[in-house]
Structure formats: C-alpha cells, structure tokens
C-alpha cells in the first residue's frame, strides 16, 4: 500500500552557490559523509548533490509533516544494481519502524541546470 509520494526539483546553480558560500557547514548539515564522498568522486559533484537534495525533499513530502526529519537522517545510497535508494538513519529509521514502512522507491535525474527526484513510500 502506498503511504506517500513526493517529488522535488533543484536548480544546480542554487545548490552550488550554497556550497560555495557555506562550505562544509552546509554540506555536513544536509549530507552524510557517504553522500559527500560519492558526489565528490564525480566530475561535477553539484549534479549529484542537487539530485540527493531533491530526493531528501521528495521523501519529506512523501511522509508529510507527520514527523520532523533531519536531512542527515535521510541517506541516498546506491543499491546493489546501482540505482538510488533511501537508507533511513536516526529518528527517520525509528519512524519507518513505527509506521511499518516496508520499502521506498527513488528515481533521480539531472541535467546541467536542474535535478529532479521522485519518491514513493510503501507501507
């Protein structure tokens, strides 16, 4: 059964400007160490960072305002097939257990100017 659906779009330049202005302070507040490492292995890390930011926002929309979620409690990882998936951490993991969330589906896409994410949460 579908618990929630969310989507978000992020302008890459806006994300890049935030990283350039706030540096590690911004990165550590929004991303896990794994997400930062993954993104900075890419030739343009801002595309991956923007797509992951969009996925985090899409997940927050999918679960609604039922519980406050720290951005670092949402980790976007690659599954065994290379596709994106959500690894809940901290309070989000507890919330998923309480709500009996069984699975999340994530779709990411990016072009030079924009990144978009779509998330479906199943109960």
Domain ranges of the chain: 2-122
Per-residue pLDDT of 60-85, as tens digits, reads 999 987 788 999 999 999 988 989 99
Is residue 61 annotated as part of the catalytic site, yes or no? yes
Is residue 21 annotated as part of the catalytic site, yes or no? no
Domain 2-122, second-level architecture: Alpha-Beta Complex (3.90)
- What is the pTM (predicted TM-score) of this model? 0.95
Long-range own/partner contacts, residues 74-78 (CB < 8 A, 24 or more apart): 75/32, 75/34, 75/35, 76/35, 76/51, 76/52, 76/106, 76/108, 77/34, 78/38
User: Residue 83 has what pLDDT?
Assistant: 93
**β-sheet with 2-11: strand ranges across:** 2-11, 114-122, 103-110
Catalytic residue among 16, 41, 42, 61: 61
User: Residue 66 has what pLDDT?
Assistant: 76
- The segments of the chain whose pLDDT lies below 50 read none
């Amino acid at each position: 059964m579908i618990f929630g659906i969310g989507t978000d779009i992020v302008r890459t330049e806006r994300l890049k400007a935030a990283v350039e202005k706030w540096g590690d302070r911004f990165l550590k507040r929004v991303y896990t160490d794994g997400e930062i490492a993954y993104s900075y292995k890419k030739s343009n890390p801002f595309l991956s960072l923007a797509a992951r930011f969009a996925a985090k926002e899409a997940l927050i929309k999918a679960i609604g305002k039922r519980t406050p979620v720290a951005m670092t409690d949402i980790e976007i990882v690659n599954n065994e097939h290379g596709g994106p998936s959500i690894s809940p951490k901290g309070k989000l993991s507890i919330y998923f257990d309480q709500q009996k969330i069984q699975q999340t589906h994530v779709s990411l896409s990016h072009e030079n100017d924009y990144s978009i994410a779509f998330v479906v949460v199943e109960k």
